[in-house]
Amino acid sequence: MSPLAAAIAYEPPTISKAWAAFLAHIPTILLIWVATIVLSVIGFVASLALTALGVGLTSSGAGGEAASSVAAVLGNLVQLPFTILSNLVGVLFVAVPAMYYASGEIIGTEPALRVLLHRPVRYLLAGVLFTVVAAIGFVFCILPGIAVTLVMPVYVNKVFLTDGPILDAFSSSFQAVYGSAKGRTFAGIQLIAWLLVLVVTIFTCGLGSLVAVPVATFYIQNAAYHQGVLS
């Protein structure tokens, strides 16, 4: 059977290959960063403005504490859709490497946005499921939450590149990562990769994450195919 992904996906992952993939996708990565930051800032400013309005009304005596509470609630509600949209666009950090290794072709800004807008409801529902399960894992114990987050690269790949039900994508991703020795090795590779990203981010006061995060996502997606977690 011929491989379902491009030949480069099954090659051993290296930092240099991930770096080359990142350089080839700089316009797309830049668009993702800008879009996520702009959406987050708009939501924060809108929330801050409504909250400030409530404080102003309280100070002037127009409505008192009730006005302040309503403004605070409205501020959170206004921020919510921008947060959701920001997270939706942010998923492209994982989806773009998935599409790249699946096709072997550079994913430009237009194809990336076209894929994102093709099935936004599917991606939103998939994100809600993943967030809820991960949150439950972190609430009961940190380790289950971390275990769930390590499934993300495989899960995003299946959600974006296949048409199967979301629940099936999640369960099969979990099985792929933790159902074999190679899958668990892949989980270990992720932990090391994200630890390095954390170190780079800390020592560069956050600026290094602009490069380290996308490079890591390319490396991890390649590792998933090389380890046989994805096919």
The SS3 assignment for 104 reads coil
Give the residue, 32 or 61, on which the prediction is more confident: 32
Q: Which residues contact 45 (CB under 8 A, 6 or more apart)?
A: none
Euclidean distance between the first and the last CA atom of the chain, given in angstroms as a whole number: 11
**pLDDT tens readout for residues 87-138:** 889 999 999 999 999 999 999 999 999 999 989 999 999 999 999 999 998 8
Note the maximum CA span of the chain.
74
**pLDDT tens readout for residues 35-52:** 999 999 998 888 888 777
7 near 104, Cβ under 8 Å? yes
Count of alpha carbons within 13 Å of 194, Cβ hemisphere only? 13
Q: Is 205 exposed, middle or buried (0-12, 13-18, 19+ CB in 10 A)?
A: exposed
Tell me the whole-structure pTM to 2 decimals.
0.88
Q: What is the CA radius of gyration of the chain?
A: 20
What letters, b where the CB count within 10 A reaches 16 and e where it falls short, cover 46-77?
bbeebbebbeebbeeeeeeeebbeebeebbee
Structure tokens at 115: 């894929």
223 near 191, Cβ under 8 Å? no
CA distance 216 to 19: 9
Query: What is the pLDDT, as a whole number, of residue 60?
Result: 57
One-character DSSP codes across 38-73? HHHHHHHHHHHHHHHHHHHHHHHTSSHHHHHHHHHH
Q: Which residues contact 90 (CB under 8 A, 6 or more apart)?
A: 32, 36
Ranges of H-type helices in the chain: 15-24, 26-60, 64-90, 92-103, 109-118, 120-140, 142-149, 152-161, 166-178, 181-203, 209-226
Query: What is the pLDDT, as a whole number, of residue 1?
Result: 32
Query: What is the pLDDT, as a whole number, of residue 75?
Result: 67
